Amino acid sequence: MNQLKNAIPVFAGDDRFGKPLLFVAGESFHCKVSAEDTGGALCIYDTIRTKRGGPPLHYHQNQDEWFFVREGKFLFQVGDDYFRLTAGDSIFAPRKVPHTFANIGEQGILIIAYQPAGTMEQFLLDGSQLLLKNPTHDEWRALNRVHGIEIVGPQLKLD
């Protein structure tokens, strides 16, 4: 594992590398802890969501995923269970268990941790670039599979 010799501060609103990712309209990802910092053991993102909704139901082959709601209201599905979370709440989604979430308010902010980091940073970078090209469903699914993510259902339906 990479043995760091110095602290790496990342201040509010900043990205670890100074380049937050605009994933789709209304979603930005700010890297706070990189796989480079942890020898691949962990990566952490702050994601700001200004639109309602979220990703399709999916699971990760190799990563556990932990969510912490910093601001707003979110609906989560993990397996067959549904949870409404607000600021200060967290939820753990184990690897290979289908999960998704949706911002159900005006603006929401999540901290998302991936353990181990795997290729999640590259997925978010590749995904942000692919989404600019308005990919087909098959192109999006293929990118997910390259990074060990299987899409198994639709986005959560919001009232």
Residues 136-158, buried b or exposed e (16+ Cβ, 10 A)? eeeeebebbeebbbebeeeebee
- Amino acid code (one letter) for 11: F
For residue 23, give every residue at least 6 positions away whose Cβ sits within 8 Å of its Cβ, in sequence order, or none. 29, 47, 124, 127, 128, 131
Least confident of 41-45, 68-72, 126-130, 141-145: 126-130
Which has the closest alpha carbon to 113: 104, 105, 121, 102? 121
What domains are there in the chain, each with its CATH number?
A: 21-151 (2.60.120.10)
Q: Are 150 and 61 in contact (CB under 8 A)?
A: yes
pLDDT in tens, 58-114: 999 999 999 999 999 999 999 999 999 999 999 999 999 999 999 999 999 999 999
